[in-house]
Amino acid sequence: MDQMQSDPERTGVPLTELSEDEDLFRRSCRDFAKERIAPRVREMEDRGRLDPALIREIFDLGLMGVHIAEAHGGGGGSFFMSVLAIEELSRIDASVGVFVDVQNTLVNNAIMRWGSREQQERFLPRLARSTVGAYALSEAGSGSDAFAMECRARPDGGDFVLNGRKLWTTNALEADLFIVFANAAPERGYKGITAFLVEKEFPGFSVGAKEDKLGIRASSTCELLLEDCRVPGANVLGETGHGYKIAIETLNEGRIGIGAQMLGVAEGSWRCGADYAKERRAFGRPIADFQAVQFQLAESATRIEAARLMVYNAARLKDRRRPFLTEAAMAKYYASQVAESVTSLMIEVYGGYGYTRDYPVEKYFRDSKIGKIYEGTSNMQLQTIAKYLLR
């Protein structure tokens, strides 16, 4: 097949090279997003919650375990395929995109890399089939400075007793399994941080208030409360005191997923703007005939394609076990910049209509802002890029 075949659903530029299986998977994700997600977007946005029936469909399609091995009930795909899914879902709704993103790039990925054989056999089939996962690192005073966490894990026999409060936990309302980071040896500083697999039914664990957010409103973002929550020693992910390594390396990979989410947001917004420009008439002709509008759309499409190449490259490097940390930071940083600027410009293409909720571009604009904040702010990405380039 011609890998550089033109795709009218994109911004009008050639596709980055995909294998036949990858292209088929991408198209299935796109069709699902159009047919099953798009009709629900407004209702989910208004309710501030994902439709439970849609979540079931996402599991049935295999999107919650894209690169979990087939032996554990997953799709046996690549990390890159997870990125394709996140991009395509986010073209329609960034809330659904991040729901799938957290599951695949953070939760599944962490257990696949650091979980014991028993943990993998116990949790991965559930995560592929029916269990939503969440990743709890941030706290009130521990955001970019992730290792300033106050959550504590006290050894007690063969178990640990966790106490503390986590904030900004994505998927918290839907999740039954949480990767929670707590310090089991505060006297050792960040080297005491440990990752725990906390199940929702554990006594002393509860999900607190849901945040009322600017964007991705259907995505649940909640606090977690741990009050003498007893976690079996068998639920330590990796080794005691290695949580800092798990957090850093998992987030490095997760940032590629956020780059894909922001790429999808920019693409979806651009498509709306381009279609509207061909329909909206002024001075007797479509506004797409005016050079000023054409240049705006062309500039945006060019930046989107550059972001796509960066995101895809980082994902390919990760799959090939080559260094990707700098490329992941660049992809996340740049895709977030592009999403914010493109979605803002598409509101201007719509004019006054773009400022109302009757048209989709205002939602894309609100959804774009989070890309520069979570899983490492833009300033933190720049710091990472500079650090490794200047070595």
Residues labelled as active-site residues: 375
Distance CA 391, CA 380 (A): 17
Task: Write out the H or E segment, with its range, that includes residue 380.
Answer: helix 378-389
A 10 A CB-CB count for 283 gives 7
Q: Is the CB of residue 375 less than 8 Å from the CB of residue 332?
A: yes
Sequence-distant (6+) residues with CB within 8 A of 100 are 58, 63, 64, 82, 85, 86, 89
DSSP 223-279: EEEEEEEEEEGGGEESSTT-HHHHHHHHHHHHHHHHHHHHHHHHHHHHHHHHHHHHH
The helix/strand count (H/E) of the chain reads as: 12, 10
Q: Is the CB of residue 345 less than 8 Å from the CB of residue 352?
A: no
Distance CA 206, CA 91 (A): 33
Q: Is the CB of residue 332 less than 8 Å from the CB of residue 256?
A: yes
Distance CA 379, CA 3 (A): 36
Distances (CA, A) of 216 to 88, 362, 376: 16, 12, 17
In the numeric block, which tokens belong to residue 247? 């957090």
Sequence-distant (6+) residues with CB within 8 A of 359 are 272, 276, 350, 353
Instruction: Identify the sign of the CA torsion 220, 83, 262, 28.
Output: negative
Nearest CA to 34 among 89, 77, 97? 89
> What is the total residue count of the chain?
391
In the numeric block, which tokens belong to residue 329? 């930071």
Strand 221-232, strand 236-237: pairing = unpaired
